[in-house]
Amino acid sequence: MITPTIFTNYFQETAKKYDVSLEDEYEIAKNLLEETCTQLSQLESQTTENVKQLDRSTTKAIKAKDETTLHEVLQETEQLRAEVEKLKAAVYKDALTQAYNRKWLQDHYLNQDATNHNHLIKDGVLGLIDLNYFKQINDTYGHIVGDKVLQYVTNMLRTIRYPVVRYGGNEFLILFHHSITTDIAKEELSKLRENILKKKFKVQNGSFHISFSFGLSSFSKDTILEEVLEQADQDMYSDKIQIKKRVTGI
């Protein structure tokens, strides 16, 4: 059996032989793993407490001999229901940005078939967003500043008022309603990008601007997600060429 640790060490040693830098990829993977473990630990703790509360309430209900006690049990049950709803919401959120995560995307937009193809179950327009020069920001100002940038961009994307999914380290999806055309979606994202470009972000040892590139692809029910992403990625590549003519760095 090859454990993840053994595999990681072997992979890194092999990369060194071929002079391949894994620094950024390793850091991204490490951060995502730490976020996931923290989130799972919190969910486990909260779930355990909810089970204990349910047990206490059930025991009290069984022993109840008057309406007052039953009313108390009902109130406790309602509070527990609210906690469970919060817990369900936490499962679908990215720990850092509070954008939706891939599990939310899977449960709300996708249906996986026997061949592991993800079929979309709705119609709409998918926007693929990728931050430009994000590695430079991390390398120059550190990952704490990088995290703040991700949080800021997420909050700005939310102002468009459609679901935002953190799809990768610095990649996001925005899922426009089926009534929105690709032209309207393009107009919305272009306007948002211009507003972000106007803002200068200041840190102790300098300042920088943020920009992103985006691609769009319309989709319909039963379309395969990977095909939609590929089309959006091609569209984003063209957009990235144009935006990097205007924005040459951070």
Task: Please state, in angstroms and rounded to a whole number, the distance separating the CA atoms of residues 81 and 50.
Answer: 9
Q: 248 phi and psi, to 5 degrees?
A: -95, 0
Q: What is the pLDDT of residues 99-150, one digit of tens each?
A: 999 999 999 999 988 788 899 999 999 999 999 999 999 999 999 999 999 9
Q: List, for residues 168-195, the tens digit of each pLDDT value.
A: 999 999 999 999 999 999 999 999 999 9
In this prediction, residue 83 carries a pLDDT of: 73
Flag whether pLDDT at 3 surpasses 60.
no
Q: Which residue has the higher pLDDT, 220 or 15?
A: 220
Question: What pTM was computed for the model?
Answer: 0.70
DSSP letter string, 150-199? HHHHHHHHHTT-S-EEE-SSSEEEEEE-TTS-HHHHHHHHHHHHHHHHTP
Q: What is the pLDDT of residues 212-244, one digit of tens each?
A: 999 999 999 999 999 999 999 999 999 999 999
pLDDT higher at 119 or 34: 119
Q: Which of 134, 209, 138, 215 is nearest to 173 (CA)?
A: 215
Q: What are phi and psi of 50, to 5 degrees?
A: -65, -40
Residue, of 201 and 22, whose pLDDT is higher: 201
**Alpha-carbon distance 163 to 202, whole Å?**
29
Q: Estimate to the nearest angstrom the gap between the alpha carbon of 226 and the chain centroid.
A: 17
Q: What is the pLDDT of residue 114?
A: 72
